[in-house]
Amino acid sequence: MPAFRFRRSLAVLVVAGLCGLAVAFGGSTPAAAGGTAPARFKIGLIGDTGYSAADDKLLLAVQRSMATYNLAFEAHDGDIQLSGSRCTDARLAAIRRIFFSTGPAGGGPAAADLAWLNGTFDAAEAAGAAGVMIIWQDDPFLYGADQALLKALKKRTIRFGKPVVLVHGDTHKHRVDKPWSDVANFTRVETFAGDQSNQWVLATVAPGQRSVFSFGVVTAK
């Protein structure tokens, strides 16, 4: 599958194992990022795609559509193989070359994921960030993912007190909702299944606004 380009000048991306990446934004300048960022910028979000050559038509249409927008970066939230596919050494080498060419992924054990999550919130709090976006693959509200990680996400979201978004894929059902009725500053976004859809999620980040994050749907032609 084509590699998507990340513009690191607009955000801090922390990659750790199965969880994916995190983005912390603060004021008009993203947390720990150099330079001055625009007051408002956009992100393209996809996932659950690249399973086979047959999916390439949809994926390439989405990529062409994204290229027509002035995106800060695009993020794939994971899952690029069909269930049951063999994960051979040759396949792992390709994944490392395409997705982690700039350095190690940081491991995949639960302890590493928890450290990654807490470290992200620590950095956001230290920078006075306006909001936090976490991106990982599985739907933690359906399959009962690592409960310690989910508990930590809820605890840190409440403590942070400003908008927090979790972006994930997994169930192939697009949604934008609030699964925790008692945590008003938390929003869950599930991306489209790219093997079934030519649509993608357009996220707008406006650090100067109270809501910080807003989401729309784009249909690739």
DSSP state of 183: -
Q: CATH for 8-219?
A: 3.60.21.10
Q: What is the chain's pLDDT, residue by residue, as a tens digit (221 residues)?
A: 233 332 222 233 332 223 334 454 443 333 333 444 457 889 999 998 878 777 888 989 999 999 999 998 888 888 877 777 776 767 777 777 776 676 655 557 678 888 889 988 998 888 888 899 999 888 888 866 678 889 999 999 999 999 999 999 988 899 999 999 999 999 999 999 877 889 999 999 998 888 999 999 999 98
- The answer to whether the CB of 126 falls within 8 A of the CB of 176 is no
Q: What is the reported pTM? A: 0.79
C-alpha torsion angle, residues 95, 97, 100, 106 (rounded to 10)? 70
Distance CA 145, CA 133 (A): 19
Position 121 scores a pLDDT of 92
Q: Where are the domains of the chain?
A: 8-219
Distance CA 190, CA 204 (A): 15
Q: What is the tens place of the pLDDT at every residue in 129-162?
A: 889 999 988 888 886 667 888 999 999 999 999 9
